[in-house]
Amino acid sequence: MAGHQEGLSSLGTATILKTNTLLQIQSLTPSFTKSEQKVASIVLQQTDSVIYSSVIDLAEKAGVGETTVLRFCRKIGFRGYQEFKLALAQELVTPAKNLHGEVGENDTLDIIAQKVTATNQQAVGDTAALLDMGQVERCVELLQKAGSIHFYGVGTSAVTAQDAKYAFMRIGLRVDAMSESHLQAMAAATLGPGDVAIGLSVSGSTKDTIDSLKVAKQAGASIICLTHYRRSPITNVADITLLTAAQEGPLQGGSLAAKIAQLHVLDVICTTLAMRNKEKALMYKERTAKAVLERKY
């Protein structure tokens, strides 16, 4: 729990909140009260008008009391409503908000391609904005020293875990990836101090993944999680939380943008590890390339 609180402290610095206010609101939405969620909904949907609204105006639009608006502002890291509005106004100059439109039935192939491209680019851009370099540095340091590294994920996160396994294996790390829940739990039980388990879950609420991370933590391993929601069950287990910006609704499981966001974070970590261990990484890249050379025409 201490690791989780430290992660929140680092992630919740004023700098991050004030430059990515809308992204932070999206990430924190599940942890808001129902009244605070009403305020969040108005802010996300009517951002342009909110920056010209008084605290009373916003409270009336959301159908809540003024104290709820002020509590909402404090919960996302601001001292008051005016400071919150200033951050929003600054953000509108370089919006972090997803501005591309949804694909419609009457869209041409060209428009569909543009919108899908915009969605995926937004996922990477927003994820980069949310990345806490202090947390990434801690992650890299842990992985450099790790004896064994396990990736856990189900669904499309399991596919991401396999991608990560191949990438990290090619630079010489002792890594594995499991997607079946029983296998995950058994593998987690074999870890110990000096090992690392990495859980991938966009929602942060995938029970199988969280349960496996708990087993790994009890065995003494360090825990890293990648999720969209900064306050979700998986972050309660993690020592280090890395945020990805692409979120999924109940009917959007398997969103490619969410997978791209996960892969982007993992690529940053893997590339950093390779650059800090150039000779070792190059040696293993050459070895792994030669190992499969005869399997290509």
Q: What is the separation, in whole angstroms, between the first and last Cα of the chain? A: 52
Question: Domain 130-295 carries which CATH code?
Answer: 3.40.50.10490
Report which of residues 293 and 175 the model is more confident about.
175
Assigned architecture for domain 12-129: Orthogonal Bundle (1.10)
Burial 79-100 (b: 16+ CB within 10 A, else e): eebeebbebbeebeeeebebee
What pLDDT was estimated at residue 26?
85
What pLDDT was estimated at residue 260?
92
Report which of residues 58 and 82 the model is more confident about.
58
Question: How high is the mean pLDDT of the chain?
Answer: 85
User: What is the rounded CA–CA span in Å between residue 81 and residue 128?
Assistant: 27
Report which of residues 218 and 121 the model is more confident about.
218
- Rounded to 5°, the CA angle 213-216-220 comes to 135
pLDDT tens per residue across span 233-271: 899 999 999 999 875 544 445 578 889 999 999 999 999
Quote the tokens at residue 14.
């004023």
Residue 93: pLDDT above 70? Answer: no
What pLDDT was estimated at residue 135?
95
What pLDDT was estimated at residue 8?
37
What pLDDT was estimated at residue 95?
43
User: What is the rounded CA–CA span in Å between residue 185 and residue 249?
Assistant: 27
242 near 226, Cβ under 8 Å?
yes
What pLDDT was estimated at residue 27?
83
Residue 85: pLDDT above 70? Answer: yes
97 conformational bin, left if phi > 0, alpha if psi -120 to 50, beta if neither: beta
User: What is the rounded CA–CA span in Å between residue 87 and residue 104?
Assistant: 33
Extents of the domains making up the chain: 12-129, 130-295
What pLDDT was estimated at residue 212?
96
Average pLDDT over residues 37-51: 89
What pLDDT was estimated at residue 101?
53
Quote the tokens at residue 150.
């396990």
User: What is the rounded CA–CA span in Å between residue 58 and residue 47?
Assistant: 11
Q: Any idea which of 51-55, 146-150, 213-217, 240-244 has the lowest mean pLDDT?
A: 51-55
Quote the tokens at residue 260.
């791209």
Q: Residue written as tokens 């939405």?
A: 29
User: What is the rounded CA–CA span in Å between residue 175 and residue 143?
Assistant: 10
Q: Choose the most confident range, by mean pLDDT, from 12-26, 115-129, 272-286.
A: 272-286
Average pLDDT over residues 138-142: 96
Q: Any idea which of 29-33, 53-57, 190-194, 222-226 has the lowest mean pLDDT?
A: 53-57
Burial 213-227 (b: 16+ CB within 10 A, else e): bbbbbeeebbbbbbb
Q: What are phi and psi of 241, to 5 degrees?
A: -115, 125
Residue 47: pLDDT above 70? Answer: yes
What pLDDT was estimated at residue 228?
87
Residue 91: pLDDT above 80? Answer: no
The pairs formed by 70-78 with CB atoms below 8 angstroms and a separation of 24 or more are 71/36, 72/32, 72/36, 72/39, 72/40, 75/28, 75/32, 75/36, 76/17, 76/21, 76/24, 76/25, 76/28, 77/12, 77/13, 77/14, 77/17, 77/18, 77/24, 78/17, 78/18
pLDDT tens per residue across span 153-199: 998 899 999 999 999 999 999 999 988 999 999 999 999 999 999 99
Confidence of residue 102 (pLDDT cuts 50, 70, 90): low
Q: Residue written as tokens 């669904």?
A: 155
Average pLDDT over residues 203-207: 88
Neighbour order of strands in the sheet with 149-152: 175-178, 149-152, 196-200, 222-227, 240-243
